Amino acid sequence: MQAVVFERYGEVAEVREVPDPRPAPHGVTVRVEATGLCRSDWHGWQGHDPDITLPHVPGHELAGVVEAVGDRVTRWRPGDRVTVPFVCACGSCGACAAGDQQVCERQTQPGFTHWGSFAQYVALDHADVNLVAVPEEMSFATAASLGCRFATAFRAVVQQGRVAAGEWVAVHGCGGVGLSAVMIAAASGARVVAVDVSPQALDLARKFGAAQCLDASSTPDTAAAIHALTDGGAHLSLDALGSPTTCAASVNGLRRRGRHIQVGLLPSTSGTTPVPMARAIALELELLGSHGMAAHTYPPMLELVRAGVLRPDLLVTSTIGLDAVPAALAAMGTAPGAGVTVIEPWN
């Protein structure tokens, strides 16, 4: 099969022929019909992810058709349309037993712990636990964009963030995760303040329902600006970029008893991130992480997509083939993208 392979961190990847994957006894292989390009892929390519061994094939937001099935798989057969959370759970550890597959103790992640979906086929572990059926009427491109950023944003806003109608929600960083969060929070009846340094990203945020937009590059104190816009601070705030600046701005922009959700990854190479803990005590803030979303919690999100309340398809701003991936991956280091790029490995 054709796949995007890199041999060294930060060195431009190449598209070449590699052996087709074979399914594990509990796993499947999937013919990849669409796969999203996410900032986490860029982090992996930069060497920020300790799970990766070289040479490596990235890609973790995918949808496609089951190609082959291991002999212990009971729920899936070749031809099924599927997607998968980027955290593939083992199904048997303590976290999985508690229903928390998104923080499985023995998780695998395609595109990180093993070769991913920037390829014509990908192997996925523990298929009975992890695969999610894609409805016939949902396109593969839409389904692929659910796998990581949209589902992650859904968990962050709805499950961890417990968003409520009428609340003010601040979203710091309006890339794929942040724009999804803006759309989900607005659809939940919240009023959203979108923060970014890119005018294109803020235009999209407005289109997806943000009531207020803040350009962080020309706002000296983002947290103070949020307090002014929201009559005392956000009820819920997400760092959807992952940086010391956006993390602190998110926490500082909260009102009393507000909830901060850390979604953006804080690369281990940049050391620990200072968090305004004194404020967390004085204002009784909640500071939570959010990590993917378990497959068994997908149905309410899929239902909102089916009903047209949530439109992940609108987040897809470009579609490319495998040949264009090495340059697109490299470009993420310098050019902030607007919206989501989807790769179609067979086109």
Ligand X SMILES: NC(=O)c1ccc[n+]([C@@H]2O[C@H](COP(=O)([O-])OP(=O)(O)OC[C@H]3O[C@@H](n4cnc5c(N)ncnc54)[C@H](O)[C@@H]3O)[C@@H](O)[C@H]2O)c1
Closest by CA to 36, choosing from 110, 122, 141, 135, is 141
Region from 25-33, 108-116, 171-179, 274-282 binding ligand X, contact rule CB under 6 A: 171-179
Whether 152 and 45 have beta carbons less than 8 Å apart is answered as no
| The one among 145, 160, 290, 341 contacting ligand X by CB under 6 A | 290
For the bound state, the minimum distance from the C-beta of residue 1 to ligand X, rounded and expressed in Å, comes to: 26
Closest by CA to 103, choosing from 292, 288, 300, 296, is 292
| Contact partner at residue 172 from Zn ion, ligand X, none, CB < 5 to 8 Å by partner kind | ligand X
Q: Does residue 242 belong to the site contacting ligand X (CB under 6 A)?
A: yes
Cβ closest to ligand X, residue 188 vs residue 290 = 290
Structure tokens at 104: 């499985």
Q: What dihedral do alpha carbons 261, 38, 334, 224 form, nearest 10°?
A: -20
Alpha-carbon separation of residue 233 from 84, 178, 259, 282 (angstroms): 36, 19, 11, 14
Q: Does residue 124 belong to the site contacting ligand X (CB under 6 A)?
A: no
Q: Does residue 146 belong to the site contacting ligand X (CB under 6 A)?
A: no
| The one among 89, 202, 210, 325 contacting Zn ion by CB under 5 A | 89
Q: Does residue 264 belong to the site contacting ligand X (CB under 6 A)?
A: yes
| The one among 4, 15, 38, 293 contacting Zn ion by CB under 5 A | 38
Whether 56 and 114 have beta carbons less than 8 Å apart is answered as no
318: Cα within 13 Å, side-chain hemisphere: 11
Q: Does residue 35 belong to the site contacting ligand X (CB under 6 A)?
A: no
Q: Does residue 145 belong to the site contacting Zn ion (CB under 5 A)?
A: no
| Contact partner at residue 120 from Zn ion, ligand X, none, CB < 5 to 8 Å by partner kind | none
Residue least distant from ligand X (Cβ): 175
| The one among 30, 38, 254, 305 contacting ligand X by CB under 6 A | 38
| Contact partner at residue 285 from ligand X, Zn ion, none, CB < 5 to 8 Å by partner kind | none
φ and ψ of 101, to 5 deg: -60, -25
Amino acid at position 329, single letter? L
What distance in Å separates the CA atoms of residue 22 and residue 70, rounded to the nearest whole number? 9
Binding site for ligand X (CB under 6 A): 38-40, 43, 148-149, 152, 172-178, 195-198, 201, 216, 240-242, 245-246, 263-265, 290-292, 336-337
